[in-house]
Chain A
Amino acid sequence: MALTREQLAQRVAQEFQDGFYVNLGIGIPTLAANYIPEDMQVMLQSENGLLGMGQFPLDEKVDPDLINAGKQTVTMVKGASLFSSAESFAMIRGGHVDLTVLGAFEVDCQGNIASYMIPGKLIKGMGGAMDLVAGADNIIVTMTHASRSGESKLLSECTLPLTGKACIQRVLTDLALMDIEDGKFILRERAPGVSVEEIIALTEGELVVPDSVPEMVL
């Protein structure tokens, strides 16, 4: 079975390490915050100027001056800090954020990512995504493996305008976890009950299948 959104979030959270500063994009990445292990300290960065983002506020504690990058009202954890957008992106571009998780439309085996623009459709903008992919060394892209019509989103070459060039090394889809090395996807894990053949069939870019591809443990 393909992973649900919650399961994707759970698998993302397994990439967290104690003491990590993490930036989570809107959507599935944000859900990963719910699966931070209790014995681990992880600090969430929100690019609008907050390090140490907490959960949503209680109704009576909503503060219009405290939102996340998705413009949702949030809280701060103990030890949080606040700063300007310039400072926030200095952290991001300067490589100080340990892990970035974000969504995409397409990823190719050169490590290119397309995530902000579909020509002919309404363009809303890249927000902070271009800065995040350019600045971080450790990025996980979460996405569905194929479109609803069954077309692969893991390509030999992205067809959409790029958000970043040669910057992605790890992709988690609803079917598989893959690394990108030397212009190839390397299959590392498969979703429980999903066969290697299914993954091969839905991966357009070159895919290396090691002898053993374990199922994800969730």
Chain B
Amino acid sequence: MAGFDKVVDSYEEAMAGLEDNMTVIAGGFGLCGIPENLIKEIKRKGTTGLTIASNNAGVDGAGLGLLLEDRQIKKMIASYVGENALFEAQMMSGELEVELTPQGTLAEKMRAGGAGIPAFYTATGYGTPVGDGKESREFNGRHYILEEALQGDFSIAKAWKGDRYGNLMFRKTARNFNPMAITAGKIAVVEVEEIVEVGQLDPDEIHLSGIYVNRLIKGSFEKPIEQRTVRSA
């Protein structure tokens, strides 16, 4: 009896059930806090026709950029995609559909998707191309547009530490979209740097409850840096 134990032992098991044309919600900001090994597993499986919601689309040769190499992504929902030559080429040729979504709206769409809120009003994007064709409404003299929640067949995310029940802690700005992405997936798969025994995490310091997590796996991470900026001593 597994009970609440969410730990799986292989990446194959972690991504079992992912099929062509599914929607996947991914955590990460740039290459920070991305589920590196879950992305590699999707590449290995060769699943195609995917719709992926993620703030960015990786870079050439890293992160979600890996899935562009074999044209596994049909549609990308993202706020900023400027770091990736292959992405640009596939977008310009029309092979890849792109739905640009403001960053805060994207985060809230995921949050709403996981929280049972089908849609919400936001001022972001009113009077811009993002608001075209969307319902709008005035509240207290301000204009808002209606944005719909986002849910995925899967979500893939990365956390710092997790206990076997899937209670999670994130580290620094590697938290970013990960908590909301996890809540918005029907099957939420999370990879962590360290799995601890139940009871070892202080319940007050858990960032996301294991109730949202379906599968948990321990990975090792390259943590590539996009812009290494330093000061001299």
Residues of A participating in the B interface, judged by any CB pair closer than 8 Å: 46-50, 55-59, 62-68, 70-74, 76, 82-86, 88-89, 92-93, 112, 117, 122-131, 134-135, 161-166
Contacts and interface: CB of A to CB of B under 8 A. Distances in A.
A85 B184 CA distance: 14
Which one of A86, A135, A165 has the highest number of Cβ atoms from chain B below 10 Å of its Cβ? A86
Interface residues of B, number: 57
B61 interface: no
Contact of B176 (A85, A117, A123, A161): A85
B163 interface: no
A125 B55 CA distance: 10
B151 interface: no
B173 A127 contact: no
Given A67-B225, A86-B180, 13 more contacts: A48-B32, A56-B229, A65-B33, A65-B171, A66-B172, A66-B173, A83-B175, A85-B103, A86-B179, A127-B102, A135-B124, A161-B129, A165-B126
Interface stretch (B66-74, B78-86, B196-204): B78-86
A131 B80 CA distance: 13
A67 to B, nearest CB: 5
Nearest to A48: B29
A93 B227 contact: no
B85 to A, nearest CB: 10
Contacts of A88: 104, 107
A86 B111 contact: yes
